[in-house]
Structure formats: structure tokens, C-alpha cells
Structure 1
Amino acid sequence: MLFFGWFHYHKAAPKLAWFQDVESMLNHHLAVATRTWVSLGGHQVLDPKEIPLPYEFILNRDLWLNFIPICRGATPFFTLNWSKYGLSYFSWRIRSESGLWSIDIAHHHLAIAILFTIAGHMYRTNGVLILTTSWHAQLSLNLAMLGSLTIVVAHHMYSMPPYPYLATDYGTQLSLFTHHMWIGGFLIVGTAAHAAIFMVRDYDPTTRYNDLLDRVLRHRDAIISHLNWALAVGGKVALLPIPLGTANFLVHHIHAFTIHVTVLILLKGVLFARSSRLISDKANLGFRFPCDGHGRGYMSSIGTGSCLLRTIRMYNSISVVIFHFSWKMHIMALRFPRFSQGLAQDPTTRRIWFGIATAHDFESHDDITEERLYQNIFASHFGQLAIIFLWTSRNLFHVAWQGNFESWVQDPLHVRPIAHAIWDPHFGQPTVEAFTRGGALGPWYTIGLRTNEDLYTGALFLLFLSAISLIAGWLHLQPKWKPSISWFKNAESRLNHHLLGLFGVSSLAWTGHLVHVAIPASRGESVRWNNFLDVLPHPRG
């Protein structure tokens, strides 16, 4: 292989026309795949090997006849006694090791080889393929096929295990499933990314008028809106007759929702890669045009920003799938004999396991107490608060750093608010018009912030709250400060604490801010630290 690589690069490099001969290339690939499947099927029939586990198969070769009833080598072939090679079809698993019959696998490979042989002679194209003019389009299709195939392999490896004893090796099953699911997820995201790059760089609407892709782009708003409604409403209507009884049904509903949302975002990013209502000149800005999130009015549908959003949705989808599969493997594993299939299907059991969020890491919680579990959940809430404060501080910081907030506040009638004042030669006027309506500056003006110093101060204060929340989460895990189980189960005290400490104090603090900061600032008065003492809520008192 190394020699062929060197030879075809230095001595006999193919021409560009050879790479763009799509029909010949596809026929060639189908022929290679055909030979591969025939060779693999023949190997399984003509050259069976012993299975190393269990050890009986090493000591007694005759046991191999239970898996492949053909151990006659190539003699029947040369003696024209081909009936000896008749492939059977047992259609399901062997009970002893829960694997597919190897004779069925050989039969399967032979059938695929025949289909590919026929397809290699039937394929013809009726028009000019975009694959010959855009490498990104070709890569996008290849990633789509490979990513889909990888995800299919992830599920087939445990539902129809091809290797003996793989079905009962739960650690290997979980590792293979996780490995293939993550690879498939990234390949699918790459599909949409390179399709969007093709739309921005290689697609020419003047030469592709009224073809299939052009008609799809002209109806993209209707397509996306219909898919949005189908996803938001259609699924719920279809599920109305089914009672939400078990967590098994709920988690499959989550799978359907997250996967379809991810695909919808991928499709939207491709269809709106060249332009959208918010930014009509994406094709001129380029795929690498950055997205600053909140500083630009939440415009995450720009090139790489859209890819980031797609990747996050893919993370969510794959994480839920792996969580469910991990829980399934833990429930069915032989090292947990106290769990059975019936218990795993019980609604109460599933509701408890999902509720306490320990199914993804069951072994680490085998010896955990109820008190320790509540303490972990309580501490994690502080971490979630820290993330919220950190996220909001980013919003303030971007508006102060890259916007014209102060200029707009001083002369709102003549200065248009823009959240990104750094000029780009490709930053067209339609984009500027879109940013002026982004609304990134309005909320901070409404709550009384008037200068960049106010924005930076607010961002630092939120960062301080984020750090305090992280420290509080760590502190409540220490032996001296850990709450007891009785504290968590005191429902009356907890309810009073939430009503008074969270809703009461926060509402009172927000009212004070509006009265002593936001309202005076809206009148044009200077806001100082002693506003609480000398600034009246109303000019007349």
C-alpha cells in the first residue's frame, strides 16, 4: 500500500478528469465492495477457525460445526460438488452465546455482493453532478453515508452481535456502542458543515436556475416552518392515545425529539447558508464570519456559529442515547443478579432510577446513602447557578466591548444601536440594518445601565456571584457544612425558605433596583450609591 501511494503520487499521478469521472468511480467502488463481500463470505465458509472462548472450542474442533456446518474446504469446488456449499438461513441467534449464525453472516455477505454487482452495471447519471465541481459537496455526501452507517453499526453490534459471546460482554458492548455513536454524531455534523460551505463557496445560482436544489431553496421558509410545526405539534398529537406510564416510553420520546431537532437545525443551517432574513448577504460574508452570540442579538445562524449550535444539539442527542444504553447495560448485566427483565420494565423502578439520576453511573452509587445523594444534588444546584451567572456576564461584557452602547444612550435619535461596531470590509449595509434591530442593547438600558462602566461593573458582579456559587457548592460537600437528611426532608421549612428567601427577597431587591436605579436613570438623573436614601420613587414624593 505504501508503494502504491508513492507510485500514484510521483510516477503515475491521475489527472483531474479521472477524479471527476463519477460514473466510472462509482462502478469501481462498487466492484471493490463486491469483491470484499465475496471474499469475506468465502473466508467464512472455506476457512473456519476455532473460537477461543470457551475453552471447549479449542480442544474439540467438531464443536465448530454448530456454527458453520461447512468444513470441507475447497474440495467440493474442484470436484463440481457445489451443493455442499449450500448456505442455510437460520434467521436468529444461537442460545448458547447469543450471537448470529456465522452461516447467516456468510449468506448475508454473498447477497450484498450480488446486489452490488448488479448496481455497478446499472448506475447511470442523467445530468451534471455537483460532485464533479465541488469537493465540499462530495465530502458532505460521503460524511452523511458514513455517519449514518456508523450509527446503524452501533445499534446492530448489540441487537445482532456478529461475534460469539459479544452479547454477554457488557463492558465491550457499552464501549463499542459509545465509540460508534460519538463518531457517527460528529460525522453527521460534518455533513451539514461541508454542505453549508458548498452553498457559500461553490454554489452558483446563475447556472443552476430552476433545478432541484434551486426549487428547494425557493421553498425553504415553507419547508422549515412545516417541519417546526410537525416537530412541535405533530409528535404530541400522534402520542395522545398512548399513556405516559413508563420511563421507557418517555426516554424514547426524548430520543425522537432530540434527534429530530438536531436534524432540523442541520437542515436549516444548510438551506439558509447563503442568506436569511436577518443577514441577507451571508454569501459575501463567508462561512468563517464569526458569531458573538448575545453581543449580536443572538445571531447564531452565521456559518461557524450555526455549526456550534448544531454540535451542541448533537452532544445533547448522543448523551441521552448513551445514558439510556448505559442504564440498559447495567440493568441487564449478569453482575447485578438482583435485577431482572421484569424489574427493569417496572414503571416505578424506572421512575425512581431516572429521578435520582444515578442510572448513568450505577456502580459508583452502589454504596451511596440517601443523605449523600441529596447532598450531591443540592451542591450541583449551586454549580448550575454559577453557570447562569457566568452566561449573563458574557452578555454584558460583549455589549460593552464590541458595541456602541454609550453613543447610542447619549443620542438615541441619531445613533443606531449596533452590538458589533468593529467594521469589516465584507460587513454589508443589509447586515448593519439587521444588527440595529437585534435588540441587544435594549434590556440593559431598561434596567438602568447607561455607560460601558456600568456594563463592565455588572459583568464583574455576575462573575463574583458565579464564583460565590461555586464555593457554596464545594462548601456544602464538606463534612462540617453538609446538611443532614432531616434538613432535606423538612418540607415546611424548605417551602418557607423558597418562598421567602428566593421569591420574596429577590422580588423585593428587583423592585428596589427599578425604583432607585432604573426609574431615576430613565429621567436622566445621575445614579449614585445613596439613591436608596435620597431619591424618591416619584418626583412629587
Structure 2
Amino acid sequence: MCCLLLSSTNGPAFNAGRSIWLPGWLNAVNENSNSLFLTIGPGDFLVHHAIALGLHTTTLILVEGALDARGSKLMPDKKDFGYSFPCDGPGRGGTCDISAWDAFYLAVFWMLNTIGWVTFYWHWKHITLWQGNVSQFNESSTYLMGWLRDYLWLNSSQLINGYNPFGMNSLSVWAWMFLFGHLVWATGFMFLISWRGYWQELIETLAWAHERTPLANLIRWRDKPVALSIVQTRLVGLAHFSVGYIFTYAAFLIASTSGKFG
């Protein structure tokens, strides 16, 4: 039994730790003149505060949504309107975007933002460490253009060229996933920004043109189509935003890493 314990000098874990996966780890733990932690600088300081902002904002939205889910001083009878409602009309100003669903909906955006910041930070830091160029992160991570130019653009250049007029390479599948993710993500804003009246008028215009087209008017519908409600469009927009966001960044993460290190 003692051979299975990490403290046993005869155990496989101890021997593997000395020779295979982390040589010298025991000496490093007991050494007083070095540190096992990565050195941090101004960029790390800024990112840690950005992550703290995202965590606090997400938590605050969820707490507010939970505490005021059934009623608040602004709208004491909120529970009578259900889990999700767009607004209670112009008679009571300020009743838009305060349902429990809206709190969840907004918290998901902040959650995705925070996860993105954590992953951006972790990925860029480790790419520069693995390449032996940690000074790039230390110098470029202190301003926004550094993140856009030296992290996102520099690391996506290989991905963008995964499929070009000269042929394709091993990154082409990730290049297509990258483009597809952007398409799904961008389509979400069509639902998040344009409200129901715009879509209803657009549908009525299309229906009018359909009914007056010689061949198209052979196909009829039982009930004239109507636009999605505000709550429904938010759900569709949120789904598009989340799925597109994950697909886009997953393709970037995998391709930019494998393109450098194989």
C-alpha cells in the first residue's frame, strides 16, 4: 500500500516525477532561492482586474435578478407578469429589461466576456512562454492595440491562410470553422438590435411581394406569418451570439496553437 503513496520514494509516481514528467520538482519545492510561480507584470495586473470586473458584474446581475425576480420597489407586481416579459407598456416607464429572464440573458453575455478574457490571457501568456518570447506579452498586454495586433491578428494570420487561392493546409478545417463561427455570431446581432416592428414590416413587405408574384403565389400559408416577440428574439440572438462566439474562438485557439507547435 505504501508504494502507491506519493510520499513513498519507491513509488511509481515519485520515480516518474524525477525522470519523466517534472524532473527536479521536489528540489524546486524545497529550494529557497527560486520561485515556482511565473513572474507577473503590468499586463497581468490589468488582466486580473478585468477578470475581477467581469466576475463581479456577472454576480451582481444574477443577484439582482434573483432578489427582484418576483417584485421590486420599481415594479411590486412583477410576479404577475411571469418569468419573462418585454415591458409593461408606456404607462409605467422603466419596466423594460427587468424580468428574471433579462437578468439571466444579460448575465450570460458578461459570463462569456469573462471567460473570453481568462482564455485570452491564459493562451497568450503560454504561447509567449512556450516560444521563449515572454517579453512580447509583457510589453504588448498593457494596451488595447497590443491585444488586437500582437495577439488576435498575429495569431490568426495562419488561420486565415488555412484556405487560400494556392490550396489548403492542415489548418483549413479550422479556417472554415472560424468563418462559420463569425457568420453565426454576427447573425445574432440581427435579432439583438433590430426590434419586432422592423421585422413585422419586413415580413409584411415580403408577404405582399409573394402574393403578387405569378409562380410564388401558388404556395399559400394558412396564417399570415408574424415576427418573433421581443423575448423570443432575445433568445435566438443569445443562442447565435453564444454558439458563434464559442466556435470562433475555439477554432482560433486550436489553429493558432497547432500552427506554431504542430
Higher relative contact order (CA 8 A, sep 6+): 2
TM range (shorter): 0.3 to 0.5
User: Rg bigger for which structure?
Assistant: 1
With structure 2 as the length reference, what TM-score do the two structures score? Answer: 0.46
